[in-house]
Amino acid sequence: MSSPKKTNLLDRPVCIVTGGSFGIGHAVCEKFSTAGYSVINLDIQTNPAQSKAVDWLKCDISASSEVSHCIKHIIKQYGRVDCLVSNAGIHFSGNIEDTSEEDFERVFGLNVKGAIAATKAVLPQMKLQQNGVILYMASDQALIAKHNSFAYNMSKAALASMAKTTALDYAKFQIRANAICPGTIETPLYHKAINNYVTQSGANIDKVHAEEAALQPIGRLGQASEVAALTYFLASDEARFITGSLQVIDGGYTAQ
């Protein structure tokens, strides 16, 4: 007999988030959890500050077998999966000459192959349900190019392509797929990139932050909570006619 806790879990929609411990992923986990979802965060590291309502499973998203195993375990436990937010990713700076084969494999192993593994793992259950939403956390770089971003840029364009093809292939099962394309968002990843740049260049960090904000037509950086709000909307029934799209949230940057 199922415990009362499990019965309660089975009554709630389920959202799986890859790379949900920090930054945008963390904000997505908190948003869905607050809205009444059972949220499972698949990440190689945990965040002690994350809500206890979010279930963390240690998982190396670049390892397809681990991703498949974790998601099968989740489906067995919860009996459903309503939304996958494929968010796990890493950044790498370098032009094509500066990007080694190992660098390229590392970026694609997590950013793209991890998304493929997660998608393949949730699709059988979503097809059975005749319902589900898959959201890929792409980037404004899915639409435009940026300097010294060969591998990262390509990986995000690949996610945009995955959203379109998955949307078309699985629409008959009432499964929707979209790509979210954030611009410059103030996250730990952003601060790490700025700190690395300042260390290498000797630039003034306050000036660099101000310059980054000034590059955005709206005059500031985006916040992870804003991306999470868009992600939640795209998973909701209010967005049930939106599929195969690239949803830009970049303060107007790509409109220039």
Q: Name the residues annotated as catalytic.
A: 152
Round to whole Å and give the CA distance between 174 and 177. 10
Pure H helices in 79-149: 101-111, 113-129
CB 118 within 8 A of CB 166: no
How is residue 80 written in tokens?
């459903």
Residue among 28, 113, 23 nearest 68 (CA): 113
DSSP conformation class of 94: B
Q: Is 225 exposed, middle or buried (0-12, 13-18, 19+ CB in 10 A)?
A: middle
Alpha-carbon distances of 176 from 84, 128, 137, rounded to whole Å: 10, 14, 14
Distance CA 168, CA 172 (A): 8
Counting Cα atoms < 13 Å in the Cβ hemisphere of 8 gives: 5
